[in-house]
Amino acid sequence: MPTLRDKIDRVLMRDDLLPKLLIATAAMLWLAPVFSSLWRDEAITYWIIKDSWGEAWRRALGYQEWSAAYFMGLKAWTAVFGSSEFSLRLPSIIAQAWAAYGVYLLGKKLRGAETGLLAALVFAASNSTFFYASEARPYAAATAFAVFSVVYLVKLLDGGGPEDGCLYALFSVLAACMQLMFAGILLVHVLYWGYRRFSERSAPAGVFFKAFAAVLLFITPLVWSAAAILQRAPSLMFAPYPGPRELAGCLAGVPLLSGLAAGFLAAGSFAIDKEELKRIPASAFVLTACWALLPPLLFFSVSNLAPAQIWVTRYFLYSQAGSALCFGLFLGLVKPARTRRLAAAAIAAAALAAHLRFSHTNEDWRSAAAAAGNWAAGHKAAVALTSPYIESMQPAWPGDADKAGYLSAPLAYYPAGEAPLALPLNLTPLNRRLIARLLKAGTAGRGGLAVLGFSDASYASFMTELLAAEGFPVKETLPGLENPRVTVYRR
């Protein structure tokens, strides 16, 4: 009579276990939040593309020039499929699935199909991948193009033809066009080619140089975008200074490590297949290690040693694919096979326990806008929001009609009545007069004011005193709303 262990082993050793585990994990993590409210950054995506093609192009170049190609692609998508929350996010889900397939192809190339599936599973469940898979922004698309740039680089260096060189160049350029920071993958390409050329003597120089030169030629126009970003950088820097904990969490998150440990503990004894290890070319480890480590280490060093606060993990999201391949290679060398399968199942379970949720973020602009709009309509009141964007701290922005549209982007997707007042994110001595002028003008002849936002106590006190002087002494907070909350002022 089969024991419980026998039954478990029968399930673990099924040929279709890993593909089903990968699909189920990705589907649950990536699809669960797609119908929830857009958050502040996704609202900017909608604001950029919501009007005409010409307006979308102008806004993309004027406000998000480092990802203009993404916005034009999404504009075309929404022209066909609409602009619901699900529709806006679906391209990222498709792109991330394609990226996972690319990780699988690379793992299969480096060691075999099982290694590819293990790497793809780790990728699908990683700390950042699941979030950007359901995000209406360019990072999943950029990741997919970055992954396939490596897929075709490997093919090219393994003796591929002109078509492989063309596809390598195309995907490399598209990755940078989706998100300018993803041009950093080119450094990984150069290091990998250099190792194969000078250590393994296995990579032709001419074919790589031609393809790489084509990449540099086509991304040259992005230099202007980079210059524009640098010019605006002092007003946009908000990222923290990372410490060792942040770096470690980027390289391997707690759910991944805890799932790996739980799987090994449940399996009992295990070993590394040293003979299989010897068969893997050193260039495979160079590629995966450079891909996983170089981008975060570079951003970590710049953020701590130079006057640039750039530690924003989405800017080097493509490193998650390299990290997943590292873990996939490691798991693929573990024996017996039962242990590998248990570890994979435990990683999936840990990721679901840590990350599964039905709201993309804790921001619910949909509910807040509906509540504010209903209250304002019933009281013939105006609507304002303390803008959640750091750009609102620039004095010229709140008073400019076009820029105010950017600053109030969440209420472009979730209208709360007529055009809202866009107020600065924080109160400072320099913007007190501006805020007072905007509030006085906005409430003139109105029955009250509904304010959405995350303002601190000092901002709330300032607004309360000013509006009381304007004839709105009663202040209330609408119930059931936290992030953002809605505060109303009435006579």
Neighbouring C-beta atoms of residue 232, cutoff 10 Å: 13
Give residues with Cβ within 8 angstroms of 206, minimum separation 6.
none
**Angle in degrees, 0-180, between the axes of helices 282-305 and 244-251, rounded to the nearest 10:** 150
Domain ranges in the chain are 4-355, 365-490
Q: What is the pLDDT of residue 206?
A: 84
Q: Is 427 left (phi over 0), alpha (psi -120 to 50) or beta?
A: beta
Q: What is the pLDDT of residues 342-351, one digit of tens each?
A: 999 999 999 9
Among 415, 416, 397, CA closest to 407: 397
The predicted structure's pLDDT at residue 173: 97
pLDDT at 435: 92
Pseudo-torsion of CA 160, 293, 316, 86, nearest 10°?
80
Going by C-alpha positions, the residue among 466, 460, 424 that lies closest to residue 441 is 466
Contact 320, 143 (CB under 8 A): yes
pLDDT in tens, 405-440: 999 999 999 999 888 999 999 898 889 999 999 999
Residue 231's pLDDT is: 63
CB atoms closer than 10 angstroms to residue 98: 17
Q: How far is it, in rounded angstroms, from Cα 246 to Cα 249?
A: 5
In the predicted model, residues of the chain with pLDDT beneath 70 are: 1-2, 4-6, 9, 227-239, 455-456
